[in-house]
Structure 1
Amino acid sequence: MRELVVLGTGSQVPTRTRNHNGYLLRWDGEGLLFDPGEGTQRQMLFAGVAASSITRICLSHFHGDHCLGVPGVVQRLSLDGVRHPVVAHYPASGAEYFARLRHASVFHETAELVESPVAEPGVIAQGPFGQLVARRLSHPVESFGYQLVEPDSRRMLPERLAELGVRGPAVGRLQREGSIEVDGRRVELPEASEPRRGQRFAFVMDTRLCDGVFELADRADLLVIESTFLSADAALATEYGHLTAAQAGRVAAECGVRKLVLSHFSQRYAEPEAFRAEAGEFFGGEIVVASDISRVPVPARRPEPSTAG
């Protein structure tokens, strides 16, 4: 399962319809919780998300709407008896703040929370999911965005496998070893498979336009990006270190994004569809104006272009 569970979509001030931030990315066996703002634990209940779903917590920065939910989430891990380690990534410059959030009140800590502060941009974790990459953003406080990159692989072709006589356990051996011998003939992996591009997810919050934004969004299948302001307030966006919906649309268009998810809306705007309209002036792909307690599937893999002459 690969989907984004949207827990909150507000910015500095929550509203009656928008909680502070919170986003859980389900990615096969991983559950990455991004920027849990105040109230995230309750939003998880509404969304049907168990604490045991979380394997990583990723904070972009230490403004309250992006981190005040950490105490409740951390304590819930122990209350629910989560048995697997949960890794916490956050800007290393905010280690003092994370310590305060982690131990904000008295509780019996039994869950294993492994802190992995981000000091420099680059690959910060690797696993079966691929690579988790952090890039520096442009905000009044140190902020990082995150990108999940699945490695490219190959998709096995059942018809070709049958033609080549590759069956049963031999299929796994061919995938692992790259070539095997079948009935006295050497079968190479490219003969029975086709390229499969790895999928990409990007999370970009609280930033002006900068190189990091474009690096994170590059070829993303699903891009979650802040669009705090509309273009009429572009000067405010720049002053306070934010993006407009139009800028988010431009990023998606220039970076080859497949599905664009707009979020982190200022409470000053009453009509969410205005964000879609502005982003759509630049980006012709699918646009989701995020709402609380919604689910956004990661797009299905697109077919590789044919190499036939």
Structure 2
Amino acid sequence: MARVSSRELVVLGTGSQAPTRTRNHNGYLLRWDGLGLLFDPGEGTQRQMIRAGVAATDVHRVLVSHFHGDHCLGLPGVIQRMSLDRVPHPVHAHYPASGEEYFRRLRHASSFHETATLVPEPVRAPGVIAEGDFGRIEARPLDHPVPAFGYRLVEPDGVRMLPDRLRALGVRGPAVGELLRAGTIVAGGRAVTLAEASVPRRGQRFAFVMDTRLCDGVFALAEGADLLVIESTFLDEDVRLARDFGHLTAGQAGRVAAECGVGRLVLTHFSQRYPDPAAFGAQARRHFAGDLVVAEDLTRVPVPPRRPHPAR
């Protein structure tokens, strides 16, 4: 039986430096079929996970962009909860290698009985940091006052079988799977190739871009993303503040999404100085005409359907 695809972003927090009554510190759980990726667990993430129905056993990898408190102070609680709940699988932790000491302190912030297996995998250079059936996870450096990385999940390219072509070629039943696996089979007295019965299917892509000024890494991560989660800490009228503190404005985030061909844009990491989150969406819309979400805590954002492949 084919595995049912289940891909969505669970937003656990959308605040920035300080939480508010309605916005927790950062936290984002990406469900990617059977894989759970927890990004930037800020203070309060463990409780937000409970509110969102996310279990510690749902997490397979933790990815920290940098070691400012609003992106990492939830680590002690999340790590200890993994042991409390006796998570049966190893959990890999990715974070800037320059913050190794911060990670060590957060991991052992208090006394607890450690039963879960946490595998530290510090990120030392840009490139692929993990590979598996899900594809590959890449890291790219960002431009922030402290060392920071953004992350990108890339599914392998595949093919989409064409039912009309399969019928015309006399390929049916178990032979379809055999053709997919082997690339060539004999049907109707002749060799049939996979290329005759399918079209290329581009793998889906997810990108996570947190605290940064505009830089090459931002565009490299966002390129062709089906779902882009990106900070928009400031509104455009405060672009100087954004630059000084190493952040993006809503308009800049919209421009990135437009230039990189993003499918669905999720704005988050909002400064507490702004009372109306709708203003972020309005400014991003000046550049990006696609699907846009101004994130709220506990929002669930589906990864959009695969984009149709041009007809052959």
TM-score in same-fold range (> 0.5):
yes
Query: Residue 102 of structure 1 aligns to which amino acid in structure 2?
Result: R
- 1:285 equivalenced with 2:290 (yes/no): yes
SS of residue paired to 2:21: coil
C-alpha deviations, 1:201-227, integer Å up to 9, x for none?
000000000000000000111100000
C-alpha deviations, 1:240-289, integer Å up to 9, x for none?
00000000001011111111100000000000000001000011111100
Aligned pairs for 1:76-91 (under 5 A) are: 76-91=81-96
- The aligned counterpart of 1:134 is 139
Aligned length: 307
> Structure 2 CA distance, aligned partners of 1:78 and 1:176?
40
CA drift of 1:167 comes to: 2.8
> Structure 1 CA distance, aligned partners of 2:115 and 2:201?
41
Which of 204, 221, 228 lines up with 1:216 in the alignment? Answer: 221
Aligned pairs for 1:1-309 (under 5 A) are: 1-307=6-312
> Structure 1 CA distance, aligned partners of 2:182 and 2:259?
38
SS of residue paired to 1:75: helix
Preserved contact between residue 211 and residue 248 of structure 2 (Cα < 8 Å): yes
CA drift of 1:163 comes to: 2.7
Query: Residue 278 of structure 1 aligns to which amino acid in structure 2?
Result: Q
CA drift of 1:195 comes to: 1.3
> Structure 2 CA distance, aligned partners of 1:175 and 1:221?
25
> Structure 2 CA distance, aligned partners of 1:157 and 1:112?
44
CA drift of 1:81 comes to: 1.4
Q: Is there any run of 5+ residues in structure 1 with no aligned partner, and where?
A: none
CA drift of 1:161 comes to: 2.1
CA drift of 1:173 comes to: 1.9
Preserved contact between residue 144 and residue 247 of structure 2 (Cα < 8 Å): yes
Preserved contact between residue 61 and residue 93 of structure 2 (Cα < 8 Å): yes
TM-score (norm 2): 0.97
SS of residue paired to 1:145: strand
> Structure 1 CA distance, aligned partners of 2:33 and 2:164?
27
> Comparing 150-159 with 286-295, which one deviates more in the overlay?
150-159
TM-score (norm 1): 0.98
CA drift of 1:51 comes to: 0.8
> Structure 1 CA distance, aligned partners of 2:134 and 2:145?
32
CA drift of 1:157 comes to: 2.0
C-alpha deviations, 1:141-194, integer Å up to 9, x for none?
000000111111101123322332223332222112211112431010011111
> Structure 1 CA distance, aligned partners of 2:301 and 2:89?
26
CA drift of 1:232 comes to: 1.3
Q: Is there any run of 5+ residues in structure 2 with no aligned partner, and where?
A: 1-5
> Structure 2 CA distance, aligned partners of 1:40 and 1:121?
27
> Structure 2 CA distance, aligned partners of 1:285 and 1:303?
15
C-alpha deviations, 1:80-99, integer Å up to 9, x for none?
11101111000001011101
SS of residue paired to 1:90: strand
C-alpha deviations, 1:32-61, integer Å up to 9, x for none?
000000000000000011111101000000
Query: Residue 248 of structure 1 aligns to which amino acid in structure 2?
Result: A
CA-based RMSD: 0.9
> Structure 2 CA distance, aligned partners of 1:237 and 1:259?
23
Give the fraction of aligned pairs with identical amino acids, expressed as a percent. Answer: 73
